[in-house]
Amino acid sequence: MKRILFSLLLLAGLVTGNKSHGQIHAINSGICVWDADFSESDIKHSPSKLESRVSPTIQFDATNKGTCVWRKSEVYVKVTVKKSPKTVSSSEANSIFKTSQKFYLNNDYVTKGGSGRFIMKFNSVVDAGMYELAFVIMNKEGKRISDEIEVFYQFVD
């Protein structure tokens, strides 16, 4: 009888341990919500006067509205050139604004409700004029986790 009771207690302990381990594994395996928030007013650039032949830096802070922790190597900004002056080819504009590059989170990590910074250093703009850029935050799986924000930039000679 004692042997049966001991076996039942041992079995109950193993089942409880497996459930607990399963819950920890589910959290660590990425069962969470990806969501980010930022707006056009969050996007800043330097120098303050955008001049051709000067490499601009654009940065913004975004809020983690989801439950996933953002890690430096897992969350990035994708930049798209929507419009450029007629004197600039689309491939040249893409090269200037590094559209094939991932601009990773500047922080080591950002938890729910926290704020993370993204910094983008671009190449020099050769031709002055109006450029329209779109920014969207992506996760490690290449999925959008924010709205796409479009901003116009006027570069002068």
- Say if residue 47 is preceded by a cis peptide, omega within 30 of 0: yes
Together in a domain, 3 and 69: no
pLDDT in tens, 35-66: 999 999 999 998 888 999 999 999 999 999 99
The DSSP output letter for 72 is T
CA distance 140 to 151: 24
User: HSE (CB half, 13 Å, CA atoms) of 12?
Assistant: 6
Instruction: Name the residue range of residue 81's domain.
Output: 36-155
Together in a domain, 22 and 64: no
In the block, residue with structure tokens 């006067």:
49
Q: Which amino acid, 125?
A: V
**CATH code assigned at 128:** 2.60.40.10
Q: Give the residue from 105, 100, 97, 115 showing the smallest Cα distance to 139.
A: 105
Together in a domain, 117 and 100: yes
Task: Give pLDDT, residue 16.
Answer: 33
CA–CA distance from 90 to each of 3, 4, 130, 150 (Å)?
78, 76, 14, 17
Together in a domain, 40 and 89: yes
Task: Give pLDDT, residue 138.
Answer: 96
Together in a domain, 71 and 95: yes
Together in a domain, 44 and 119: yes
* Residues 36 and 65: beta-carbon distance below 8 Å: yes
Together in a domain, 25 and 50: no
Question: Greater confidence, 80 or 28?
Answer: 80
Together in a domain, 21 and 77: no
Q: Which amino acid, 4?
A: I
> Does position 96 have pLDDT exceeding 80, yes or no?
yes
Task: Give pLDDT, residue 109.
Answer: 96
Together in a domain, 88 and 120: yes
Partner residues linked to 110 by β-bridges: 70
Q: How confident is the model at residue 30 (pLDDT cuts 50, 70, 90)?
A: low
Together in a domain, 20 and 89: no
The domain total for the chain is: 2
CA distance 8 to 13: 9
Together in a domain, 16 and 41: no
Task: Provide mean pLDDT across the span 66-72.
Answer: 95
Together in a domain, 148 and 115: yes
> Does position 20 have pLDDT exceeding 60, yes or no?
no
Task: Give pLDDT, residue 13.
Answer: 37
CA–CA distance from 124 to each of 26, 47, 88, 154 (Å)?
46, 12, 13, 13
